[in-house]
């Protein structure tokens, strides 16, 4: 009887221990899943029409327009899913860079010819752009004597990550690595600031070409014709420094981004459904056969990624 009682007590103990450990394991799995989901800035694919039905209920004119626009994407443009992108003032840069990395695209031709890590010093010492010290890093609003060191670290990270992703041949592995990278806010922030800086570098290069009476793309002429961006300094102070902080990219910035990265950015502007501006490209006429990536937007402020 004593042996039986001991055996029963032992079994009850292990049963309670099993239930307790199972409960704790379930709690930790849920916690990690919630933490990963919260930090993931590019969500997993969801069915396009299901997403539309959830987001655009009701019979308001705008809801009807959006439903028609999403149906157009699904039935005529063959977009089957959408990946929601975190809505902040970096989301255009995030949407573009995520696709460059997930597709394993190679460096733009001009980046293969220059060491982009040395571009901050090049602007200062070769081109005399000492105003670069007024560059600010989005919401951090950092400026000061160490701006070159901070920019260099951002550009180094961009170069390292781009090299890494372009060298991964397996599509699924690239996708998994993207999910890891785009759940680390501190690394993301540095990558987007690097993109902003190389956009500024290209604006400076084209501005010098314009002063020498060389032919430049039409959108750069439009950029320099504005009082608030008549030269690289004013472009930086009045526009680029605010990106990531109080505003995202404007349409003219999207042209510059596509030109800088040598990609054709095709954007479905859903609020422009049934107009000639429903589908636009940045730049409109790429200089070469550049790879194409696609975005969709409901308002020209925030962007998501269509999946074909």
Per-residue model confidence (pLDDT) at position 84: 97
What percentage of residues in the chain have a pLDDT greater than 70?
85
**Contact between 264 and 210 (Cβ < 8 Å):** no
The total number of residues shown for the chain amounts to: 308
pLDDT band of 281, cuts 50, 70, 90: very high
- 257, with CB counted inside 10 A (0-12, 13-18, 19+), is buried
The answer to pTM > 0.75 is yes
Which position has the higher pLDDT, 40 or 167? 167
Per-residue model confidence (pLDDT) at position 129: 82
Which position has the higher pLDDT, 197 or 148? 197
Local structure of 300: helix, strand or coil? coil
Residue 134 above 60 pLDDT?
yes
Task: Determine the average pLDDT of the residues in 170-180.
Answer: 95
Per-residue model confidence (pLDDT) at position 143: 61
Q: What is the largest CA-CA distance in the chain?
A: 103
pLDDT band of 22, cuts 50, 70, 90: low
When the pLDDT of each residue in the chain is averaged and rounded to a whole number, the result is 90
Q: What is the DSSP letter of 244?
A: T
Whole-number Å distance between alpha carbons of 81 and 274: 21
Per-residue model confidence (pLDDT) at position 263: 96
- Spell out where the chain has E strands: 42-47, 81-85, 264-269, 279-282, 292-297, 303-307
Task: Determine the average pLDDT of the residues in 16-26.
Answer: 64
For residue 105, what are the CA distances in angstroms to 24, 218, 226, 303?
Answer: 43, 26, 33, 20
Kindly report the backbone phi and psi dihedral angles of residue 284, in degrees, each rounded to the nearest multiple of 5, phi listed first: -70, -40
- Average the pLDDT over each of 21-30, 59-68, 240-249, 292-301 and give the range with the smallest value: 21-30
Kindly report the backbone phi and psi dihedral angles of residue 34, in degrees, each rounded to the nearest multiple of 5, phi listed first: -65, -40
Residue 112 above 60 pLDDT?
yes
First-to-last alpha carbon distance for the chain, in angstroms, is 70
């Amino acid at each position: 009887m004593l042996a039986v009682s001991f055996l029963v007590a032992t079994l009850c103990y292990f049963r309670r221990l099993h239930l307790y450990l199972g409960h704790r394991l379930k709690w930790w799995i849920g916690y990690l899943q919630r933490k990963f989901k919260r930090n993931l800035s590019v969500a997993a694919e969801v069915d396009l029409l299901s997403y539309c039905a959830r987001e655009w209920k009701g019979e308001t004119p705008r809801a009807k327009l959006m439903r028609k626009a999403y149906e157009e994407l699904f039935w005529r443009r063959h977009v089957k899913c959408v990946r929601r992108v975190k809505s902040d003032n970096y989301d255009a840069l995030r949407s573009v860079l995520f696709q460059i990395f997930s597709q394993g695209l190679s460096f733009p031709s001009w980046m293969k010819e220059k060491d982009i890590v040395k571009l901050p010093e090049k602007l200062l010492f070769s081109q005399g752009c000492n105003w670069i010290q007024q560059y600010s890093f989005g919401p951090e609003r950092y400026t000061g004597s160490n701006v070159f060191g901070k920019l260099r670290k951002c550009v180094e990270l961009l170069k390292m990550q781009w090299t890494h992703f372009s060298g991964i041949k397996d599509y699924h592995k690239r996708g998994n690595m993207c999910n890891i990278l785009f759940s680390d806010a501190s690394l993301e922030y540095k990558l987007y600031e690097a993109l902003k800086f190389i956009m500024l570098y290209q604006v400076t290069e084209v501005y010098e070409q314009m002063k020498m009476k060389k032919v430049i793309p039409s959108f750069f002429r439009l950029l320099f014709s504005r009082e608030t961006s008549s030269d690289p300094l004013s472009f930086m102070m009045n526009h680029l420094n605010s990106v990531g902080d109080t505003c995202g990219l404007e349409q003219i910035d999207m042209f510059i981004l596509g030109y800088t990265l040598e990609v054709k950015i095709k954007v479905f502007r859903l609020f422009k459904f049934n107009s000639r501006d429903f589908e636009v490209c940045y730049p409109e006429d790429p200089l070469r056969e550049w790879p194409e990536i696609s975005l969709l937007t409901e308002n020209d402020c925030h962007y998501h990624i269509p999946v074909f």
